[in-house]
Amino acid sequence: MELAILVVTLLVLLALGVPVAYSLLGAAMATFIALDIPLVVVFQRMAAGVSVFTLMAIPFFIFAGDLMYRSGIAQRLVEVAEGAFGRARGGLGLVNVGASAMFGAVSGSAIASASAMGSTLMPLMKDKGYDGDYAVNVTVTAAIVGLLIPPSHNMIIYSAASGIGVSIGDLFLAGVVPGILTALLLMVVAWRVAVLRGYAKGTFPGWRIFLRALFYAIPGLMAAIIIMGGILSGVFTATESSAIAVVYTIIIGAVVYRSLGWTKFTEAAMQSVKITAMVLLIIGSATAFGYALAILEAPTKLANLITSTTDNPILVLLIVNVILLVLGTFMDMSPLIVITTPILLPVVMQVGVDPVHFGIIMMLNLGIGLVTPPVGSVLFVGSAVGNVPVEQAVKTIWPFYSALLLALMIITFVPQLSLALPAMFK
């Protein structure tokens, strides 16, 4: 009965348009009232959920990503990608994917990538004769690559939610190859759709211009190398690396590129505070909701249900992927990580799935939800930036969905793609 109250209350609040954080909080409170548990416990669980040291990295990585966007690093990465891929048919689509992958390596945010690439490339694509829906579709799906290529603050949330101390360094390394694979599959689809639509070929700007663009982009790309190098060498932790990323980005933007002034700095700080507040509120509310699930033994019941159906690892992973894909269509990524990780991680570990591997599966799976209606936040951001109705973009996004789903299946059933790189550094 109480489990029904929890689930139904959540679904009703979401259907009424109540923000996800408040829907989770309202469902938890209704369940605690039904269980005759003091409501103060809800807020105690919220406080406990955000009082995790590793979560301190989230505001710093968000701040660093916003500073990189406002410092013009995105524009320099676009210039590099344009030199590398721009001469192919539909070259700006390939440029979009390549630049998104590189920007993901320094920002780790899908929304930041969609905003940066959208504002930089969408007007140019439209001027070159590309359809608006194509520009939006490439931009939003390519933004998902940033969730896999380190650093990714969602991996930090997963590590904290796992409860077993999954190594953030291993997660960062594990996302590199899957991120590259996903980017390549999206490039193939972007090229194929461009051929079918008859988009024109681009022109190679010349080696001198390309190498000059690469030279100017190197300081920005070095942020990812410094972060990963420091973590792997043991010089600093993942949390400390996030603060170092902020300091490094400020130096690069203000001293090297000279494009980061006081106004842009304060704008980035204000925006980062807003995003961090939303993320932490969602995490706190999801923690209270997850505590209610734990009291009702929902994780154990679901685990028993799945394992009683089958103990075949392939079937278990298929079932888990379907569950995550469905949930991702109507709930945002951060709360889903907090809620589903304690439930599903023990299930997949029972059939021999490595927690690092499962973390990468979850990143891409829930990332697909970010570009899927009705709660596809990255899809809505891309559509708004590109001034293209969501309905129009969704009608032609299916080839790109296919690429993401194919990448998900390959990453799910070829675990060495995720685990080989972490194993090399142990």
How far is CA 103 from its chain centroid? 12
pLDDT of residue 403: 96
For the record, the structure tokens of 37 come out as 């548990």
Round to whole Å and give the CA distance between 320 and 302.
11
**What number is the average pLDDT over the span 223-245?**
78
pLDDT of residue 398: 93
Q: What is the pTM of this model?
A: 0.85
Residues 6+ apart with CB under 8 A from 356: 166, 167, 170, 171, 174, 418, 419, 422
DSSP, collapsed to helix, strand or coil, labels residue 325 as helix
User: Any idea which of 23-37, 198-212, 337-351 has the lowest mean pLDDT?
Assistant: 198-212
Q: Is the pLDDT of residue 366 over 90?
A: yes
Taking 3-state DSSP, the helix, strand and coil percentages for the chain, each rounded to the nearest 5, stand at 80, 0, 20
For the record, the structure tokens of 3 come out as 């489990």
- On whether the CB atoms of residues 313 and 350 are closer than 8 A, the answer is no
Secondary element (H or E) of residue 154: helix 153-162
How far is CA 144 from its chain centroid? 6
pLDDT of residue 363: 94
**What number is the average pLDDT over the span 213-237?**
78
Name the residue with higher pLDDT: 96 or 411.
Answer: 411
Percent of the chain with pLDDT over 70: 96
For the record, the structure tokens of 286 come out as 């999801």
Round to whole Å and give the CA distance between 130 and 334.
33
pLDDT of residue 106: 66
User: Any idea which of 3-7, 298-302, 324-328, 380-384 has the lowest mean pLDDT?
Assistant: 298-302
Q: What is the largest CA-CA distance in the chain?
A: 72
Round to whole Å and give the CA distance between 172 and 155.
7
pLDDT-based confidence at 185, cuts 50/70/90?
A: very high
Q: Is the pLDDT of residue 416 over 90?
A: yes
Residues 6+ apart with CB under 8 A from 187: 85, 93, 94, 97, 98
- On whether the CB atoms of residues 397 and 168 are closer than 8 A, the answer is no
DSSP, collapsed to helix, strand or coil, labels residue 201 as strand
Range with top average pLDDT, 303-312, 326-335, 358-367: 358-367
pLDDT single digits (tens) 87-109:
777 777 888 888 877 777 666 67
Q: Is the pLDDT of residue 290 over 80?
A: yes
Burial 20-39 (b: 16+ CB within 10 A, else e): bbebbbbbbbbbbebeebee
For the record, the structure tokens of 260 come out as 């980061």
pLDDT of residue 188: 93
The sign of the CA dihedral 261, 266, 272, 275 is: negative
pLDDT of residue 151: 78
Q: Is the pLDDT of residue 53 over 80?
A: no
User: Any idea which of 1-10, 36-45, 58-67, 285-294 has the lowest mean pLDDT?
Assistant: 58-67
pLDDT of residue 48: 86
Q: Could you tell me where the DSSP H helices lie in 296-415?
A: 298-309, 313-328, 333-350, 355-369, 377-386, 390-395, 398-413
Looking at this protein, which amino acid is placed at residue 394? Answer: V
pLDDT-based confidence at 64, cuts 50/70/90?
A: confident
pLDDT of residue 86: 66
Beta bridge partners of 201: 89
pLDDT single digits (tens) 367-389:
999 898 777 788 888 888 788 88
User: Any idea which of 1-5, 77-81, 281-285 has the lowest mean pLDDT?
Assistant: 77-81
116: left (phi over 0), alpha (psi -120 to 50) or beta: alpha
Summary mean pLDDT of the chain: 85
pLDDT of residue 119: 75
